[in-house]
């Protein structure tokens, strides 16, 4: 699971063009969309949907329902594990 | 009309009011200018070339904004380029043709006027905006636009020619113009002079 | 400054029909008939989505590649049927084009080159076209800019072209934002699910002198940025509120005089909600309002122009057109959405538009007969 989380962090940085960040800068349990997290917005949430499909083959139909999944790296990893 | 300040950015350097203030230290020159200026704005990294360049050009001008009054309502953005958002458009096409999915964060930048949106957000300026596609920088055209803007009641125009396609000729030329009592200053000639000087640096 | 103000107030701007091509036809008459019958140009188009989904689009049949070039040519040819060369080629005739993507098929070289070439070949205007590319508010901006040029006395008349065509690029892009509806769009409705994309070309002609018959004056206009988000509208409708406020101030028209509002009404949850909030803040909720997107779909750079053309038809025929797709209000603020065509004197119209980049624009039109 921790390997998945590290992988996810790299993928997030790549997918969202967060050039100034390294995986070490992203805490597993930080709320990604808050100021203490990465300060992401609604478009970034949509990019997460692309990320889940492109890297993990998981399709999300309803972006609003998906908000919980993208809460943190922890919640994303848990969701991906649950879909295996 | 009076030019209060002007800035210029290209792959070689960044300039303010005719002075060279930064020299590019890497191929990703926009990133290097951003780092050297020590700007705290993480949204920068999500922007495309057009928005990054305009953001930096605008940041260089920050001291010119200090004494402006009622700027959030009466400052108009007048921007133009020749290639629209071509560079981002091509990357967006790649995202759905070669990669697996159309990228929403690229799609939202496939319009040239997004850069004015980024500037408005940064400053919380609610004024008028417009983006034109010209074949080349045209100082007479900008002169007319500014005249029209002032006739409508605006007090300032922040103008820009932001041509960024990922080529060595890329440039971002921005200038801030205020209404002025001085009638005989030929804005068009002055703009050409300023830009030519920058281009020959 | 005194001389300049005199200039501005004495030079007025009048709109005439130029041309209109959409799935509903290629003449004003055909469009009036379609609107009279509440016919929509939106159809289910098979396998047009990124994953071969069926989408609801307002597509023009029979356009050959490049579809943008074919549509622009057709519309320009319609224009020259009704306006003389001496008018179109006059040194005091300007020409403005509103488009978001132009000839996207040529993106690797120059997407705007064919626009200049086709206009030159068919219309031969004295001046190069002035191209506005400012997302979905481009059309309204084009009309406001044309008026500015006339008030500056740079031109006596201006040809204003608004055009965009459908493409995978646009469709997949809006899909990636989850902004498209899986049915024909339902502006302001409780069950609305998003946009139906469309394509069209509309041409208006603006002059500084009125004709003997029907004229629509462009009294004033303005734009304003939300300063909030590059692709989502402000939750308080700040930019639209300011654009409309400035428009009314510049027009010296009070909200009581407005007979009809042609809203942007794209049918996304956020846009329509934002518009309703802005209208409510301005005290405009009781004014008959519609969205033309139920007829045309969202035509991006063409939207402002073709929708202003239909505002003119409303004023000419004194009819309010039903807002197709609407049955029950789905915004926090209740608007007076037109639910059936009805005859009414329509003299003063407010047209609004909002678009990516936080842009909002409005224009105030008055019928002079």
The reply to whether residue C229 touches residue A41, judged by beta carbons under 8 angstroms, is yes
Average pLDDT rounded to a whole number, residues C338-363: 98
Check whether C1 has a pLDDT greater than 80.
no
Average pLDDT rounded to a whole number, residues C109-130: 98
Share of chain C above pLDDT 90, in %: 96
* DSSP label of C12: -
Of A41, A42, A46, the CB nearest to C176: A46
Average pLDDT rounded to a whole number, residues C217-238: 96
CATH architecture classification, C215-368: 3-Layer(aba) Sandwich (3.40)
Q: Which residues of B touch C153 (CB under 8 A)?
A: none
Which CATH code, of 3.40.47.10, 2.60.120.10, 3.40.50.2000, 3.40.710.10, is assigned to B2-199?
3.40.47.10
What ipTM is given for this predicted complex?
0.97
Q: Which residue in A has a C-alpha nearest to residue C193's C-alpha?
A: A62
Check whether C296 has a pLDDT greater than 90.
yes
The answer, yes or no, to whether the previous bond of C66 is cis (omega within 30 of 0) is yes
Q: How many Å is the Cα radius of gyration of chain A?
A: 12
Check whether C320 has a pLDDT greater than 60.
yes
Q: Which of C310, C321, C367 is nearest to C344 (CA)?
A: C321
- Boundaries of CATH 3.40.47.10 in chain C? 2-185+197-207, 215-368
Dump pLDDT digits (tens) for A6-50. Answer: 999 999 988 887 777 889 988 898 888 876 667 788 898 999 999
Q: Which residues of A touch C176 (CB under 8 A)?
A: 46, 50
Of B99, B102, B105, the CB nearest to A16: B105
The reply to whether residue C176 touches residue A63, judged by beta carbons under 8 angstroms, is no
Does A82 contact chain C (CB < 8 Å)?
no
Domains of chain A: 2-82 (1.10.1200.10)
Alpha-carbon distance B147 to C94, whole Å?
Answer: 17
Q: Tell me if C231 sits within 8 A of C274, measured CB to CB.
A: no
| Alpha-carbon distance C192 to nearest alpha carbon in chain B (angstroms) | 22
Check whether C123 has a pLDDT greater than 80.
yes
Count the residues in chain B: 201
Q: Which residues is C364 bridged to in the sheet? A: C220, C350
| Alpha-carbon distance C177 to nearest alpha carbon in chain A (angstroms) | 7
pLDDT of C9 reads 56
Q: Tell me if C350 sits within 8 A of C53, measured CB to CB.
A: no
Q: Residue C151 belongs to what H/E stretch? A: helix C138-151
**Domain C2-185+197-207 falls in which CATH fold?**
Peroxisomal Thiolase; Chain A, domain 1 (3.40.47)
Q: Which residues of A touch C232 (CB under 8 A)?
A: 42
pLDDT of C6 reads 45
CA distances from A27 to A31, A74, B39 (A): 9, 9, 23
Count the residues in chain A: 84
The reply to whether residue B103 touches residue A20, judged by beta carbons under 8 angstroms, is no
CA distances from C182 to C48, C56, C173 (A): 12, 7, 15
Question: Domain coordinates of chain B in residue numbers?
Answer: 2-199
pLDDT of A68 reads 84
Q: Which residues of B touch C110 (CB under 8 A)?
A: 83
Check whether C192 has a pLDDT greater than 60.
yes
Check whether C4 has a pLDDT greater than 90.
no
Does B19 contact chain A (CB < 8 Å)?
no
Alpha-carbon distance A81 to A72, whole Å?
Answer: 14
Whether the full predicted model's pTM is greater than 0.90, yes or no, is yes
pLDDT of A32 reads 85
Average pLDDT rounded to a whole number, residues C60-66: 95
Dump pLDDT digits (tens) for B131-157. Answer: 999 999 999 999 999 999 999 999 999
- Residue spans of chain B under pLDDT 70: 99, 182-184
pLDDT of A36 reads 65
Alpha-carbon distance C185 to C182, whole Å?
Answer: 8
Of C178, C229, C230, the CB nearest to A46: C178
């Amino acid at each position: 699971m921790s390997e998945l989380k590290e992988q996810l962090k790299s993928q997030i940085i790549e997918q969202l063009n967060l050039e100034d960040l390294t995986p070490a800068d992203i805490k597993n349990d930080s709320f990604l969309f808050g100021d203490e997290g990465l300060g992401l917005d609604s478009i970034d949430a949509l990019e997460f949907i692309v990320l889940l499909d492109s890297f993990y083959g998981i399709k999300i139909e309803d972006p609003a329902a998906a908000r919980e999944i993208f809460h943190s790296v922890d919640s994303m990893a848990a969701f991906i594990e649950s879909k295996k | 009309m009076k030019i209060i300040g002007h800035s210029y950015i290209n792959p070689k350097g960044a300039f303010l009011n005719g002075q060279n203030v930064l020299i590019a230290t890497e191929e990703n020159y926009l990133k290097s200018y951003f780092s050297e200026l020590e700007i705290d704005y993480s949204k920068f990294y999500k922007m495309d070339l057009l928005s990054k360049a305009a953001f930096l050009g605008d940041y260089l001008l920050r001291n010119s904004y200090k004494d402006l009054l009622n700027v959030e309502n009466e400052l108009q953005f007048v921007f133009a380029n020749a290639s629209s958002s071509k560079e981002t458009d091509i990357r967006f096409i790649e995202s759905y043709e070669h990669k697996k999915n159309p990228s929403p964060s690229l799609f939202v930048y496939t319009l040239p006027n997004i850069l004015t949106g980024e500037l408005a957000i940064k400053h919380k300026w609610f004024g008028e905006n417009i983006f034109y596609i010209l074949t080349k920088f045209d100082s007479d055209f900008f002169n007319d636009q500014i005249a029209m803007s002032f006739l409508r009641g605006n007090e300032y125009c922040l103008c820009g020619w932001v041509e960024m396609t990922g080529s060595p000729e890329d440039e971002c030329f921005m200038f801030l113009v205020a209404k002025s009592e001085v009638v005989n200053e030929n804005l068009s000639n002055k703009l050409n002079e300023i830009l030519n000087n920058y281009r020959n640096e | 400054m005194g001389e300049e103000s005199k200039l501005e107030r004495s030079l007025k701007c009048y709109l005439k029909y130029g041309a209109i091509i959409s799935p509903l036809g290629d003449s004003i008459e055909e469009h009036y008939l379609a609107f009279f019958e509440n016919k929509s140009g939106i159809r289910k188009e098979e396998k047009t989505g990124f994953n071969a989904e069926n989408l609801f689009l307002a597509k023009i049949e029979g356009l050959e590649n490049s579809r943008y070039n074919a549509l622009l040519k057709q519309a320009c040819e319609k224009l020259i049927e009704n306006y003389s060369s001496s008018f179109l080629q006059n040194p005091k005739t300007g020409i403005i084009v509103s488009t978001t993507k132009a000839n996207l098929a040529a993106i690797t070289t120059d997407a705007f080159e064919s626009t200049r070439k086709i206009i030159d070949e068919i219309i031969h205007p004295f001046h190069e076209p002035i191209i506005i590319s400012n997302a979905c508010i481009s059309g309204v901006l084009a009309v406001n800019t044309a008026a500015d040029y006339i008030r500056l006395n740079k031109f006596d008349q201006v040809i204003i072209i608004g055009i965009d065509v459908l493409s995978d690029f646009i469709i997949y892009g809006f899909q990636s934002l989850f902004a498209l509806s899986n049915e024909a769009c339902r502006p302001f409705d409780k069950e609305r699910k998003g946009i139906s994309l469309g394509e069209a070309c509309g041409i208006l002609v603006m002059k500084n002198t009125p004709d003997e018959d029907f004229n629509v004056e462009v009294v004033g206009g303005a734009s304003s940025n939300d300063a909030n988000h590059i692709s989502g509208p402000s939750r308080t409708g700040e930019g639209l509120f300011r654009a409309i406020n400035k428009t009314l101030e510049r027009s010296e028209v009070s909200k009581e005089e407005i007979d009809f509002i042609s809203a942007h009404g794209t049918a996304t949850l956020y846009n329509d909600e934002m518009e309703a909030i802005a209208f409510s803040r301005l005290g405009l909720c009781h004014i008959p309002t519609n969205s033309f997107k139920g007829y045309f779909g969202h035509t991006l750079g063409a939207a402002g122009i073709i929708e202003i053309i239909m505002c003119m038809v409303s004023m000419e025929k004194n009819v309010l057109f039903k807002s197709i797709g609407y049955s029950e209000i789905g915004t926090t603020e209740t608007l007076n959405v037109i639910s059936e065509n009805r005859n009414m004197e329509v003299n003063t119209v407010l047209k609004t538009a909002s678009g990516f980049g936080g842009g909002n624009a409005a224009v105030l039109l008055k019928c002079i007969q």
